[in-house]
Amino acid sequence: MPTNLPPDALQAEKRYREAETLEDKIATLDEFIGLIPKHKGTDHLRADLRKQLSKLKASAQAGKKTTRQDSAFRIVREGAGQVAIVGVTNVGKSALVAALTNATPEVSSAPYTTWEPTPGMMLADNVQIQLIDTPPLSRDYVEVELLSLIRRSDLILLVVDVQTQPVQQLEESIAILEEHRIIPLHRRDGYPDDPRFTFKPLLVLANKCDDRESEELFEILCVLLEEKWSILPVSATTGHNLEQLKQAVFDGLAVMRVYAKPPGKDPDLSRPYVLPKGSTVEEFARKIHKDFYDNLKSARVWGSATFDGQAVSRDHVLHDGDVVELRI
């Protein structure tokens, strides 16, 4: 695979390689093809991938009588990233999704309440991020489709209940994920470079930190954990640290906001374009419209340039909050 593809295409390619079901393969390959820049250098690649796509579609068509209807576990990506909220039962996954998004999953003190994933959109600053409430991870019944959903996500939020054996809950959840080759990114060095493993950024949420007493439980939890996890105490009930949580999710997605400034006008700061961190002016141009990418004559940047309004080249690397004026 050529390495000079833009970061979002490389990420889509990775999702395609990791897809396990025919349905997932078709959806991720389709997405990948759409993100490959269209020019002479990518003609062969695009043609090859299109052939692969039609083969996959043909096998899907052939197997249609036996395959199931669209699965509830296949959730269309929306917003700046897809985040899976996972953990054992009753830790407050659904309560967190209800507190953070427009979705209204059922919350109950009875165990095993959630059976199907529910997506909701969370507004972090001025960026929409998709959170997915999921059924509990459980040793008794491991749902293959749930693991595929987690593999496709960009970030995992692993929830534990600070008031109920959080260390065991964390260890059990991680063990189930790792048995299915989903590995927290910070443990990557301990694993061979094998494409069967999926390494995911993972943030631990110690939920039910409602008061002073549970804050103390959180401190004990931090002492007991032998490994360095990214961990945040939160409460779905009181709203404690939910703003910090939004920021941590945004940071965990490794994306940035860039604003378009039409020549002679002010930028619309309420509508950022979201790009992978490290994207260039050229990648920003492609995100706006193919014409900007093909015919870009000049670009000026406010923010990361040495001075405001500086003229920059196509390969100038942008930063979060930059304002860019493109001329074609």
Binding site for ligand GTP (CB under 6 A): 89-95, 107-109, 111-114, 136, 207-208, 210, 235-237
- Least distance to ligand GTP, CB of residue 282, Å: 43
Task: Calculate the alpha carbon distances from 137 to 21, 176, 328 in Å.
Answer: 20, 7, 51
Q: How far is the CB of 135 from ligand GTP (least distance, A)?
A: 6
Q: How many helices (H) and strands (E) does the chain have?
A: 10, 13
Closest Cα partner for 202 from 236, 178, 166?
Answer: 178
Q: How far apart are CA 299 and CA 309, in angstroms?
A: 9
CB-CB contact of 257 with 273 (8 Å): yes
Q: How far apart are CA 290 and CA 194, in angstroms?
A: 35
Binding site for Mg ion (CB under 5 A): 93-94, 113-114
CB of 125 to ligand GTP, least distance (A): 23
User: Quick one: what does residue 310 bind among Mg ion, ligand GTP, none, with the CB cut-off 5 to 8 Å set by partner type?
Assistant: none
Inter-residue contact 18 to 151 (CB < 8 Å): yes
Nearer to Mg ion, 13 or 133 (CB): 133
Q: By C-beta, is 56 or 88 nearer to ligand GTP?
A: 88
Nearer to ligand GTP, 235 or 279 (CB): 235
CB 104, min distance to Mg ion, A: 12
HSE of 2 in the Cβ direction (CA atoms, 13 Å)? 13
Please say which residue, 93 or 152, places its beta carbon nearer to Mg ion: 93
CB atoms within 10 A of CB 112: 13
Residue 84 CB, nearest approach to Mg ion (Å): 13
Q: What whole-number distance in Å separates Cα of residue 17 and Cα of residue 11?
A: 10
CB under 5 to 8 A by kind: which of Mg ion, ligand GTP, none does 210 bind? ligand GTP
DSSP assigned state of 257: E
Q: CB of residue 20 vs ligand GTP: minimum separation in angstroms? A: 23
- CB closer to ligand GTP, 210 vs 283: 210
The span from the CA of 60 to the CA of 54, in Å, is 10
Q: Which is nearer to Mg ion, 164 or 247 (CB)?
A: 164
Residue 89's binding partner among ligand GTP, Mg ion, none (Cβ under 5 to 8 angstroms by kind) is ligand GTP
- Provide, rounded to whole angstroms, the least separation between the CB of residue 217 and ligand GTP: 12
Residue number, 94 or 130, with CB nearest to Mg ion: 94
Residue with tokens 């695979």: 1
Which does residue 95 touch among ligand GTP, Mg ion, none (CB within 5 to 8 A, set by kind)?
ligand GTP
- Residue ranges of alpha helices (H) inside 124-241 are 144-152, 166-179, 212-224
